[in-house]
Amino acid sequence: MPIYEYRCTSCGHQQEFLQKLSDPPHTRCTRCGEETFSKMVTAAGFQLKGSGWYATDFKGGGQPAKSGGSESKESAAPSPACGTGACPACR
């Protein structure tokens, strides 16, 4: 599900919401109660849940598969996924 960021034009309050694409946009500010909440244009954000390739291949920083009979070479760890706060774009 995408994460959307909203900003109130009355009080300046900003807040993120995890929403389905089909959910209606938020319009009422959660701080001042005015109907002046609007969606901001920001970098795409999303949250991965459940078991899947990202959990098994990247989440734990697992060891690469060894090839049979030869010495394994050290390889660089995969770059952190964007949206986790660890990549340069998220800082």
Ranges of H-type helices in 10-62 = 53-54
Structural domains for the chain = 1-44 (2.20.28.10)
> Of 36, 34, 2, 37, whose CA–CA distance to 18 is shortest?
2
Element (H, E) at 3: strand 3-8
* Angle at alpha carbon of residue 30, lines to 13 and 7, rounded to 5°: 35
Q: What's the token pair of residue 21?
A: 């694409």
Residue 43: what pLDDT?
76
> Of 31, 29, 30, 42, whose CA–CA distance to 2 is shortest?
42
Residue 76: what pLDDT?
56
- pLDDT digit of tens for each residue in the chain (91 aa)? 788 999 999 999 999 999 998 999 999 999 999 999 999 988 766 667 766 665 566 555 555 545 454 444 455 566 666 666 666 666 6
